[in-house]
Structures are given as structure tokens and as C-alpha cells.
Chain A
Amino acid sequence: MDLIDAAHLHFRYAGTPVLQDVSLNIHAGEIVSLLGPNGCGKTTLLKILLGILRPQRGKVRLHGKEVAAMSPRELAGCMAYVPQTHRIGFAYRVLDVVLMGRTPHKSLFSDYSRQDVEIALHCLERLSIADLSDRPYNEISGGERQLTLIARALAQGARILIMDEPASGLDYGNQIRLLTRISDLAQDGYTFIKSTHAPDHALWIAKRVVIMKGGTVIADGKPQDVINGDAISRLYSTRVGVVSVGDTLRMCVPHAMLNGARRTAAQL
């Protein structure tokens, strides 16, 4: 059985169609990258998977169970949302932010237990940021904030992490470190569904790439099958080639940046 089975999703916002007949099956342990230009419906799709938005037509099943029929608490136990790195209204400590991940596991009126605190600290350690636990969340770097939010997702006990452009706003080093973390966690059986603006990130770590355009899925498959010069060029309306570096790594190269700018993808 598929972990997530989204079938024939349609979504309109204020009369404008945002998603049209989108179907997606996701298996455990996959890193799925959603790729597509701004406004293609990536974020809407993620929010529907999370149960935040309801599709007008179509259904999302999680472990065979309909998401629309699950309580927020039940959903939170299976699926965690890792938002874009953000500043928050009130400067909670990093540990307190991670503790919020334990919300679905405590009763409504009670405080977090000692065990919850231990789990939160353990999750911080797992991402090697335990030394930040007492720092105000708004004062740490963007990369550290993103790791904190992942730690919160782990503390939540969810096995599926849904990330909206996790690398945006991070410097180059932090982007690489973040992608390495995601890759490691996927080895441990976590499933990632993330939207991204960078085709390279999909090439580096994704096991599966879903390309969206104009509210529909136009390609879905392994990165090596789906991402090629033509597809990326069409998707972003700019000429791009894909080159191999060594045996395993592939990267995008925008033609406009090449010396002489006349070489074709074939010459690369």
C-alpha cells in the first residue's frame, strides 16, 4: 500500500483553478521534490496533503485512511510540516519551539512531561544543535532555525516531513548541510516531500521528482529520467543544460552563463 495516495485533486481559490486533476502516490523512505515555477500549485498541493486545505474534488489517503476524516492530532502524529525558515512573533527558546512538537502526544490541559523534554533534547542532539537549546529562536541563524524546525518535526514523532522550500533563505553552506541531513534522515526511513526552486537540489538528493506546471503534474519519476536540459528549459523558459560531474552527480548549467553562450547542451 502506498504511504500517501492523492487521487484526482482539484482545487480552486476564489474561482481561479490552482490544481487540476493532480494525482500522486508516495512510498515510505522517498525524498520527493516538487519542482515548478512560481504559482504552479506546489504550496497548495503541500497544504492539501497536510490537511490544511481541503480539495474541492479528489481525496488524499494516508495509510489508506482519508486525511479529511482525520483529526489534527491524529494527522500530526503521522505528518509534520516544516515551514520556510521564519521569524516568529514571540522569541521562544529553541527548546520550547522543539517542545511544541510534543503537542499531539500530551493531553490538552497538561504541561509537557519530563519525557517530552528528554525527547526534544534528544532530537536537538540528533541534528547536532543541542547547544542552541536555550537560545532565543529569533537570534539563531537561518540554517539553525531550519534545523530547529526539523528537530521539532522529529519530536512530533511523524515519519513524513513536508517542507515548503526548505533551502530558501539559507546560505550555500547551510543549504548543503540541510540537504545532507535530509538525505541521512531518509536513510533512517523518514519520508520527505519538499517543494524546491533549485533543480540542482532535486538532482542531488531526491529519489523522485514531480514537475508541476499550471496546476497539473507534467512529469513524475526518477530524477535521472525526469530532469534533463529540455524539461528544465521548458519549465523555466530559459535554456539549461544538465552535465555530469564524476560518476553520480549531475548539475544544471544555465546557457546564458556559459562563456561564449553559443554551446549547445549536446556539446556539454
Chain B
Amino acid sequence: MKRPAILMLLFGLLWATVLVSLTLGRFPITLTELYDVMLQLLLDREVMAEERFSTLKNILFDIRLPRIMAAVLTGAALSVAGTSFQSMFINPLVSPGLLGVLAGASFGAALGMVAARTWLAVEAGAFIFGLAAVIVAMTIARFFRGDRLLILILGGIISASLFTSLLSLIKYLADPYDQLPAIVFWLMGGFSMVDGKTVLFVALPMLVGIAVLLALSSTLNVLSMGEEEARSLGINVGVMRTTIILSATLISSLTVSLGGIVGWVGLVIPHVGRMLVGPDNRVLLPVAGMLGATYLLGVDDLSRLLFRVEIPIGILTSLLGIPFFMLVLKNARKGWS
């Protein structure tokens, strides 16, 4: 299939999933009603009674839309970050958490819960310590000689263990009746707590980070040829790697601010993208972004609707991701080998 065609197709699929997701929920709303509300809202045309309109508007735009946006942003961000890392580290088995961002963000969120007890503190803690963990990894890497990428991965392993230990410490110290369950629940991932204001606040830096990575897609191709070739092709390897790591870290840590730890998306979706369009990042990155957004939105719908009690989305993405990944690996020899 022609590459622009598949981009258009995925874009359409994403929008369709968004519209369908708006109608799904405990309070059923049909697509026609959704259309009517949009008419009334945008064109000020009286289609339904004011009371019904405000109920529907409240459900659609205050409850469902923020959650949908959070899922879309998180899916896109994790997939784009994962794809970028896989290209930059020339390794199809790495995920956005490679340099410790998720471990750091988990610790930050838990710290926020125990120390300040406000959602703002949780969100800010996740973001700040996600960034901090990666900076720790990069700083550790500076002290060692050798293959830069390998040393960076080593730094990431050290940093991730450091913040995982600190997280355990917080869990140990937390009040076991109130705080500990909240921490554990948060770490399972989920969008039930998101509100419109946070989503809007986080959306801008997330979109900027995604845009930077998309704009650097041809540079990512060159970087995946290895350090020496990239340099001889005119790339300032150190500066570009730092830019890519910081952009990916920014968007990954913001996903933790929105919905806790959502695993597997950033590892699996890039592979699905590569199976569809091949490894060229100029096409793969936008494809992975849209696939990830659609996928996570679909999984979030499942987590809302599957059972009477909502299932944390991180559990679902792992349960779905594992067999999916095995299937993909079996068929995905052509994208990388």
C-alpha cells in the first residue's frame, strides 16, 4: 500500500475510535445524539431540550473526552518514544523505560502521594523524577569509557534500580491502610483520575516532544547506522542523541503524570508499525504514533466496559501485550534482522 494512504487510513481509524469511545460507557449515548450535541454546541441549533443537552455535554466533554484524550496522548507518546529509542539504540528490543524514566516517575508519583497528598504533587513528582532518573543515567554514563550506547544502557539499568529501591522504601514507609493501596493502584496505570485541566496542561509539552521526534525522523534513520557512519554523514551525534533522549523522556514521564505506568505499548506498537510500513522512521514514527493512540484508546474502552469494576489499564496492556509481542516477533523478521 502507498505510504500516504496508510497514514490517512490510520488517521481515519483513530478518529473513528475516538467517536465510538465517546458513545461507550455506563450511560449510553448514540452516535446520532453525539452528532446532535455537536450541532447544538457548535452551531447553536436547538436540537434537544436544554436539560438533556447539558447532561450529555457534561458526560461527553467533562468526563469522557479528557479520558479519551489522555489515552490517545499516552498511546501516541509511548509508541513514538519507543520507536525513537529502538532506532537510536539500534536495538528493536528496547522500550521507553530503558534509561529509567518509568522507575523515576513511579518513585516521584509515590513520593508526591506520601509527602504532599495532592494530585498536582503526584503529577509533578512523576514528571520531575522521571526526568531526574534519566539525567542520573546519563551522568553515570559520562564516567565510563567505551561504547556510548552500551554505557548509556548500563547507566539506565543502574538508575532504574536506584529509583525502584527508593520506591520500595516509600512503599515501606507509607501508611498501609490509605497510602500504600493508592500507590500500588497508581502504578497499575489507569485514566480514571484524569481531569480536563490536567490533560490540557500536559497536552502541549507532550505534543511538542512528539513533534520534535517526528521532525528528527530522518536523523533517527542516520543514527541507526551507528555512531561513526552517522558522524561521517554530517550528524552531530552527541547533540542529536541528547535531544532525542530528552524529548522521549519528557513525553514518557508526562504519560506517568497522566495515567501511571502503562507497560508494553512502547515496545509492541513499534514492531506492529514496522510490519505495516517497514523501518523508515519518516513513515514509521507517525504510523506508530497513530497506532499506539488507537490501540491504547481501545484498551481503555475495554478497561472501562469489560467488567463492572474498572480494570487498571496497565494490567490489560501487559496481558494483551505479551501474546501480541510473541506473535509479532514470529512474523516480524522483515523489519529488522
A90, B277: Cα distance in complex, Å = 12
Closest to A138 in B: B337
Q: Are A90 and B279 within 8 A (Cβ)?
A: yes
Interface residues of A in 169-198 (CB under 8 A from B): none
Q: Contact between B218 and A90 (Cβ–Cβ < 8 Å)? A: no
State the CA gap A72–B223 with chains docked (Å): 13
Assess whether A261 is interfacial by the CB under 8 Å rule. Answer: no
Interface status of A30 (Cβ within 8 A of chain B): no
Q: Is the CB of B228 within 8 A of A47?
A: yes
User: Within 8 Å CB of A47, what residues of B?
Assistant: 228
Contact of A93 with B by CB under 8 A = yes
A18 vs chain B, min Cβ distance (A): 15
**Contact mask for chain B residues 219-243; partner A; CB cutoff 8 A; 1 contact, 0 none:** 1011011001101111111000000
Output the nearest chain B residue to A14 by Cβ-Cβ distance: B145
* Interface flags, B181-223, vs A, CB<8A=1, else 0: 0000000000000000000000000000000000111110110
Give the size of the chain B interface in residues (CB under 8 angstroms). 31
Q: Which residues of A have CB within 8 Å of B335?
A: 90-91
A136/B224 contact (C-beta < 8 A), A75-B234, A100-B233 known: no
Q: What residues of A have a CB within 8 angstroms of the CB of B231 in the complex?
A: 50-52, 72
Give the dominant DSSP class at A's interface: mixed
In the bound complex, residues from chain A placing their C-beta under 8 Å from that of B236 are 71-73
Q: Are A72 and B336 in contact (CB under 8 A)?
A: no
Determine whether A11 belongs to the interface, using a CB cutoff of 8 Å to chain B. no
Tell yes or no: B282 within 8 A of A by CB. Answer: yes
A residues in contact with B233, CB < 8 Å? 76, 81, 100-101, 103-104, 156
Chain B residues with CB under 8 Å of A156's CB are 233-234
On whether the beta carbons of A91 and B278 are closer than 8 Å, the reply is yes
**Contact present for A92 and B232 (CB under 8 Å):** no
Docked-complex contact B234 and A112, CB < 8 angstroms? no
- CB neighbours (8 Å) of B219 from chain A are 103, 108
Asked if B278 and A72 make an inter-chain contact with CB atoms under 8 angstroms apart, the answer reads no
Inter-chain contacts of A103 with B (CB < 8 A): 218-219, 222, 233-235
- A260 contacts the other chain (CB 8 A): no
Which B residues are in CB contact (< 8 Å) with A111?
A: 217-218, 282
Task: Tell me if B90 is interfacial: C-beta within 8 Å of chain A.
Answer: yes
Cβ of A142 within 8 Å of any chain B Cβ, yes or no, is no
Indicate whether B334 reaches chain A with its CB closer than 8 angstroms.
Answer: yes
A92 near B280 (CB under 8 angstroms)? yes
Given the complex of chains A and B, what is the CA–CA distance between A83 and B282 in angstroms? 24
Q: Is A93 a contact partner of B234 (Cβ separation < 8 A)?
A: no
Assess whether A69 is interfacial by the CB under 8 Å rule. no
Known: A75-B234, A76-B234, A88-B224. A112 touches B218 (CB 8 A): yes
* Alpha-carbon gap, A156 to B231, bound state (A): 13
Partner of B221, one of A52, A96, A108: A96
Interface residues of A in 119-146 (CB under 8 A from B): 136, 138
A77 contacts B by Cβ under 8 Å: yes
Tell yes or no: B257 within 8 A of A by CB: no
Q: Which residues of B contact A99 (CB under 8 A)?
A: 218
Render A217-255 as a binary contact track against B, CB cut-off 8 A, 1 for contact: 000000000000000000000000000000000000000
Residues of A within 8 Å of B91, CB to CB, are 89
CA–CA, A93 and B279, complex, Å: 9
CB pair B216 A90 closer than 8 Å: no
Are A92 and B221 closer than 8 Å at their CB atoms? yes
Within 8 A of B (CB), among A62-100: 71-73, 75-77, 79-81, 83, 87-93, 96, 99-100
Q: Which residue of A lies closest to B215 (CB)?
A: A109
Q: Does B317 contact A (CB under 8 A)?
A: no
| Chain A residues, Cβ within 8 Å of B221 | 92, 96, 100
A77 to B218, Cβ gap below 8 A? no
Q: How far is the CA of A25 from the CA of B247 in the complex (A)?
A: 44
Give B279's nearest chain A residue, CB to CB: A90
Interface string of B89-112 (1 = CB under 8 A from A): 011100000000000000000000
Collect the chain B residues with CB atoms within 8 Å of residue A71's CB.
Answer: 236
Would you call B336 and A89 a contact (CB within 8 A)?
yes
Taking beta carbons and an 8 Å cutoff, which residues of A are in contact with B? Answer: 47, 50-52, 71-73, 75-77, 79-81, 83, 87-93, 96, 99-101, 103-104, 106, 108-109, 111-112, 136, 138, 156
User: Which 8 pairs across A and B sit closest by C-beta, in order of nearness?
Assistant: A76-B234, A104-B234, A81-B232, A90-B279, A89-B90, A109-B215, A73-B234, A103-B233
18 further A-B pairs in the complex, CB-CB below 8 A; given A72-B237, A75-B234, A103-B218:
A50-B231, A77-B234, A81-B232, A89-B91, A89-B92, A90-B224, A90-B274, A90-B336, A91-B279, A91-B336, A92-B221, A93-B280, A96-B221, A100-B233, A103-B233, A111-B218, A156-B233, A156-B234
Chain B interface residues toward A at CB < 8 A: 87, 90-92, 215-219, 221-222, 224-225, 228-229, 231-237, 274, 278-280, 282, 334-337
Q: Can you spell out 16 A-B residue pairs with CB atoms less than 8 angstroms apart?
A: A71-B236, A72-B231, A76-B232, A81-B229, A81-B233, A83-B229, A90-B90, A90-B274, A90-B335, A91-B279, A91-B337, A92-B221, A103-B235, A111-B217, A111-B282, A156-B233
